[in-house]
Structure 1
Amino acid sequence: MGGWQQKIKTHSSPKQNNYLSLLANRQRAWVEIDLKALAHNVRALKSFLGHQTKLMAVVKADAYGHGAITIAQTAVANGADCLAIATLAEGVELRQAGITEPILILGAINSPEDIKEIAAWQLEPTICNQEQALVFESTMARVGNSLPVHLKLDTGMSRLGTNWQEAVSFVQLVQKLPHLKIASIYSHFSTADESDRTTMNLQHRRFRDAIDQLKQAGFVPPLLHLANSAAALSDRTCHYDLVRIGLALYGLYPAPHLHQVIDLQPVLRVKAKITQVKTIPAGEGVSYGRKFITAKDTKVAVVGIGYADGIPRNLSNRLQAIVSGQLVSQIGSITMDQLMLNVDCIPHIQPGEVVTLIGQHYGLQITADDWANILDTISWEILCGFKHRLPRINVN
């Protein structure tokens, strides 16, 4: 039934980018990826899920900014059964890297040219409605092969998928298409990270009702999946045959009330170097717009990282960093390539000293959640925001 039951061939082992590792000491700023933490998270999640449920590692958006190839390789090496991405290009990148596990494309694709590429790279698409299914069928008929497909039901997300009440007619049409083979039926929660379970429970009931209707019509789905990270951690009845794990893979919790469920370790750290240290006299403005005025003579460290690297400008005068084992405040407007820190509390600070913006050092910790809380956003957005001019340095 498509690639979900077996691999194409033996996967390759995780590899560090040695070139970037050698350059680490010469970078002004970088992102560290803790592969031991990732391995720990995958193993902890596998143990939590038990033997009956497969783990699908969601590595779309360059693995939430962590580096899709290395993350996928490490996740698979530690027990992930399959992978998910959002776009055709993301899937091709993984295949070109030698990754052979089943890969589900979560986004909707309608172009015959793209459908041919999906087949050529042995990827597995999401089919959202009957019209899309017919385009896939006509294209695959010309190709001359069959393709495993995953049918998505809309149970209340109001995004991709066929309305759950039309599940039977949707499935029956796809069953009649000789070049499409149904690999799974799935849906997606809209509020699984909220403590109020009302909407989540409603969606789950709708999903169960749809599956019951399918079984009554004589169709037994080969695989069912519904849970994202939040649902997987909060409700075991949502596990079904596999769960789609995104944020938890990277060591962050989808909601505060889930922190005690499982031990996760953050995978990503953001670091930069001090490029200059100077003393600014009292009454002087710091950075563009003079949004910070020194109240007294102030020792300022200039750090080589800015909003072009993914440090949100709206964190200006609200950001903190760890320097020499102390928590210090960012001052003035964050600029494109640089930001400034008040380092009055550090006597002998010098250019070249490393600043931790996200991560743990000397028992102090700053997380993507901390930034998200300040900005009234979500940690997903923070992780995905670090630009590629920051090299990813894989550490074990």
Structure 2
Amino acid sequence: MLKQNHRAWVEVDLSAIKHNVQQLKSLLTAPTELMAIVKADAYGHGAIDVSQVAIEAGAAWLGVATIPEGIQLRHAGITAPIVILGATNGIDEIKAIAEYRLQPTICNPKQALIYHEVLATIQEQVSVHLKIDTGMSRLGVNWQEAMAFVQLVQHLPNLEITSIYSHFATADDRDRRFMHLQAQRFEQVITALKAEDFHAPRIHICNTAAMLSEPHLHYDIVRTGLGLYGLYPAPHLQSYLDLRPALTVKARITQVKEISAGTSVSYGQSFIAPQDMKMATVAIGYADGIPRGLSNRIRVSVNGQKVAQIGTITMDQCAIDVSHVPNINVGDVVTFLGSDSENTADDWANLVGTISWEILCGFKHRLPRINITKTVDLTDRRLFSSDHI
């Protein structure tokens, strides 16, 4: 099994994750707690290691999207409360949630009743989080029906209400009117419940963007995703904290060659050499998570120099212009994202018309995740063998 001589890989700086958790927690006032969102393999950073570091740094909760994500963390020995943010309805799903002490989101009365019936057959009780739809229109009961929903769940003995929460749709926008409308609706729900002598153990509505900009909405828990990984939800939110991106993407050169003026590079002849050039082929492509839409649009770093990516990015490979890089060799490491490159996930997202969340989640699992504080120097060409291309 290959260990050091990867063709391409993702480096994760766990010290940056720790720093970011500490920065985020500095905005909170006790007893407000931090929930680290580690779904989608911690946005591509590696859910187990990120979860462990986040908890050590002070996160009290973990949030995932699916039951297998939660089970993976339990198998790793993580005992912190894990909230399933997605909807779950199946009998086997409910039994697995009970077995692994996961905490599901309950989105509507029908789901609550299914849970109650299944749990009654296995004589189990689970902690649940009730989702209120205040304007996202994705999951949750309509905020105007929240009172009846909560009262129903209250009377289901196999369900223990642990929190009531909602989710903002526009917290990263400069125009905060809709976010404030959602916050008002959520507050109306909480006030109405209190009037009926129901006091939710915990309430929460803030994601990273709202956490940064609306401290009066922190309530009992804040849920932080993108900020955990060192990125800001929007440029106008960058002044609140000093966050450090944790992810770097690297790959090795597999061939270096001279090409003459007029030579086309890659599919579709999207790049024609304007003069004699030296180019290098790099073992990474769109199947690894480098968007094809970045073709001919980015600069990368190799041997301390910034160079242009040229030609169409293909499934497993791409090309770079190394005409002015001395002593370039097969096995040299090219940095595509983060670290000493010119590129951030935000930059790539802007170029291809998406969001940084999608860029981070796009790096496929054939790229090994390597914690840079635990590994050997992967820039050493002596570790590289063309037999492993």
Do both proteins adopt the same fold according to a TM-score greater than 0.5, normalized to the shorter chain?
Answer: yes
Contact kept? 1:168, 1:217, Cα under 8 Å: no
Segments of 4+ moved more than 3 angstroms = none
Q: Which residue in 2 is equivalent to 1:267? A: 246
Q: How does 1:1-396 map to 2 (within 5 A)?
A: 23-24=3-4, 26-361=5-340, 365-396=342-373
Percent identity over the alignment? 59
Q: Secondary structure at the match of 1:133?
A: helix
**How many residues in Structure 1 have an aligned counterpart in Structure 2?**
373
Native 8 Å contact 1:234 1:258 kept in 2: yes
Separation (CA, whole Å) in 2 of partners of 1:322 and 1:51: 43
> Which whole-Å deviations, capped at 9, do the CAs of 1:35-93 have from their partners, x for residues lacking one?
11111111111112132210000000010011111110111111110100000110011
Q: 2:256 aligns to what SS in structure 1?
A: strand
Q: Distance in 1 between matches of 2:327 and 2:40?
A: 41
CA distance in 1, matches of 2:321, 2:315: 19
Counterpart of 1:260, as a letter, is S
Q: In structure 2, what is the Cα distance between the partners aligned to 1:291 and 1:390? A: 27
Alpha-carbon shift at residue 241 of structure 1 (Å): 0.2
Please state how far the C-alpha of 1:168 moved relative to its aligned partner: 0.7
CA offset at residue 138 of structure 1? 0.4
The 3-state SS of whatever aligns with 1:321 is strand
Give the aligned residue type for 1:51.
A
> Over aligned residues, Cα RMSD in angstroms?
1.1
Deviations 1:269-302 (A, max 9, x none): 0011111111110111101111111111011011
Instruction: Give the gaps of 5 or more residues in structure 1.
Output: 1-18
Q: Is the 8 A contact 2:299 2:342 kept in 1?
A: no
CA positional deviation for 1:147:
1.2
Structure 2 residue matching 1:309: 3-state secondary structure = coil
Q: Return the letter of the residue paired with 1:369.
A: D
Q: Distance in 1 between matches of 2:287 and 2:314?
A: 8
TM-score normalised over the length of structure 1: 0.93
TM-score (norm 2): 0.94
- The answer for unaligned runs of 5 or more in structure 2 is 374-389
Residue 144 of structure 1, CA deviation: 0.7
